[in-house]
Amino acid sequence: MDQGTSYRTVKGPASVELVINKSRFIGQCFPISTESEALEKLAALRKQYWDATHNCYAYSVGKKGEIARFSDDGEPGGTAGMPMMDALRGACVTDVLCVVTRYFGGILLGTGGLVRAYSKSCSEAIRAAGVVRMTPCDLVEFHVPYHQWAMFQQEARKQGATLGPEYGEMVRCIAAIEAEKTKSFMDAVYDQSAGSLTGQVIDREYRPLEDHEEG
């Protein structure tokens, strides 16, 4: 069972486009879960944008960003991949791949101009995707008699649990709740049912919650 803590990632894929001194920058970001997934997506984008001048990237994998890779893809050293990685770290996101595709427009941007262009393209893509906080949630199984179902639902609402009921002779319900709230929820249900309802934690998984810190 995963005993981890919360982390931030992007909601889903997003793409933005910037034109800077006639150069076209296409910034894209994607949620990923493994390094192999990042490399597969990167290979597909390189094939799609085969005629681009550069396909620079940065990705972070792992709940603490344990795997971090980036590439300037032919741009002057330190002007593309590292600024993109800095943008990922600045947004405090992981399990994310960001790729910035550049079509050269004929005007040199200089070192500072490239850093700003790649950093902005990555940051704008993250902003367009939106950020969520992935939080460890326990999945707790209950078997609830129908005459106690309304009470059970009320306690679940108080604690912010998400219910997945199956209706039979009793209600078999899998309640997903933030791990830090599991004990108080189970204790409340036990107390309200006079000790007749007890739950069993059967699994733990990460679920997304809106991250209101992202602006």
- Say if domain 133-210 classifies as CATH 3.30.70.240: yes
User: How far is CA 110 from each of CA 34, 113, 180, rounded to the nearest angstrom?
Assistant: 34, 5, 50
For β-strands 200-210 and 96-103, DSSP reports them as: unpaired
- Say if domain 7-129 classifies as CATH 3.40.50.150: no
Q: Are 26 and 49 in contact (CB under 8 A)?
A: yes
pLDDT tens for 26-56 read 999 999 999 999 999 999 999 999 999 999 9
Q: Are 85 and 68 in contact (CB under 8 A)?
A: yes
Q: How confident is the model at residue 207 (pLDDT cuts 50, 70, 90)?
A: confident
- Domain residue limits, the chain: 7-129, 133-210
Percent of the chain at pLDDT above 90? 90
Write the DSSP symbol of residue 169. S
Give me the pLDDT at residue 212, please: 43
- Per-residue tokens: 72: 């300037």
Secondary structure element (H or E) that encloses residue 32, with its range: none
Give me the pLDDT at residue 211, please: 47
pLDDT tens for 149-177 read 999 999 999 999 999 999 999 999 999 99
